A = this chain, B = another copy of it.
Amino acid sequence: VTSGPDGRPDEFDTIGRLFRPLAAGAREARGLLDDAAAIPSRPGQDLIVTTDAIVEGVHFLAEDPLDLVARKLLRVNLSDLAAKGADPYGYFLTVSWSPRCGWPEREAFARGLAEDQARYGVLLFGGDTTSTPGPLTCSLTALGWVPHGRGPTRSGARPGDLVLVSGAVGDGFLGLLGVRGELGALEPARVEALVRRYRLPEPRTALVRAVRDFASAAADVSDGLIADLGHIAEASGVGVDLDLRRLPLSRAAKAWLEHRADPVAALRDLAAGGDDYEIVCAAAPDQAEALQRAAEKAGIGLTVVGRIGEETGVRVWYDDEPVPVTYAGWRHA
């Protein structure tokens, strides 16, 4: 490994030894020997493009292992693609390495990407690396394909549609509490599982086809269920009624809920927290049934948690009781 004048690993070495193998087999990447990638058009298909940026100290902690940081960055983008009904295709990566990123740290980062590339069937197409005197900063742009004009957006929800969410809601919020050591009352094994889920979410790629075929609007739950429903409502020009009593919860979340003095407020916190990477979608009632059947085949629960209405805004209920919402999930910091 060659080092630059500042003693850090050389960027050409980083690209050549660590990133080039991640592009092996991708003609689009031109072996990372070029300064651009070439994506052949697919007649009748649209390329779906989504981007997320993460910063050490804001989106992850300085002590987080970099293989997990890299995998989460890839996974949150694959989660976005799944919510658009797009088949994962490839990605571009930019990394600004902080002073702590020596060769072992960069190797760990690349190893994490290699592992999840194989798991999700995507390849690296290109990007840029540089160094920074500040915190480690990365952005990833993921590409996927959908048939032209197909795949739900945030703006297709219509009054009368049902609102469905995959898996369980709130484990991301609890995982973050776990990272902060604020889950003392729970069994250590449960805390560990929640922290792991927070650090390494599971994008719902198995739902791509079902979401594409049956959902009228969809998003992934990254800002928090309430906030992400708010995005759908705003983009669609409609409103949402969300019933907290129907919220699908993991066993760990149910155990946590038992210790809350105000369980309805606690449920609201689970619905306001982010980082679940479930899919929330709207679908006409007959389509919702087909969607649930398809999800069941994929082994993933899909629960009706509300309904789209005419009046704009997100209204939160527990059965017939309105629940005050003072904050609508994470605002991008």
Contact = CB atoms under 8 A, between A and B. Distances in A.
Interface of A: 4, 6, 10-12, 30-31, 33-55, 57-59, 80-81, 83-84, 86, 92, 94-96, 125-135, 137, 139, 141, 146, 148, 151, 153-155, 219-220, 222, 231, 234-235, 331-333
Given A33-B235, A53-B129, 6 more contacts: A11-B332, A35-B220, A36-B50, A53-B130, A55-B130, A57-B132
Contacts of A49: 36-39, 92, 125-126
Contact of A128 (B96, B139, B231): B139
Nearest to A95: B53
A132 B55 contact: yes
A189 B232 CA distance: 54
Nearest to A150: B38
Contacts of A234: 33
Contacts of A36: 48-50, 80-81, 84, 86
A95 to B, nearest CB: 8
B130 A92 contact: no
A46 B125 CA distance: 14
B45 A41 contact: yes
Contacts of A53: 94-96, 128-130, 139
Nearest to A142: B36
Count chain B CB atoms within 10 A of each CB in A48, A53, A55 and give the residue with the most: A53
A44 B126 CA distance: 22
Contacts of A222: 35
A135 B98 CA distance: 11
A155 B30 contact: yes
A232 B46 CA distance: 32
A10 B94 contact: no
A57 B133 contact: yes
A92 B51 contact: yes
B50 A41 contact: no
Given A33-B155, A49-B92, A148 B41 contact: yes
B331 A10 contact: yes
30 contacts: A4-B331, A11-B333, A12-B331, A12-B332, A30-B153, A30-B154, A30-B155, A31-B235, A33-B155, A33-B231, A33-B234, A34-B154, A34-B235, A35-B80, A35-B220, A36-B48, A36-B84, A37-B50, A38-B46, A38-B146, A41-B47, A49-B125, A51-B126, A53-B95, A128-B139, A130-B332, A131-B333, A134-B135, A137-B137, A139-B139
Contacts of A6: 333
B35 A219 contact: yes
A39 B34 contact: no
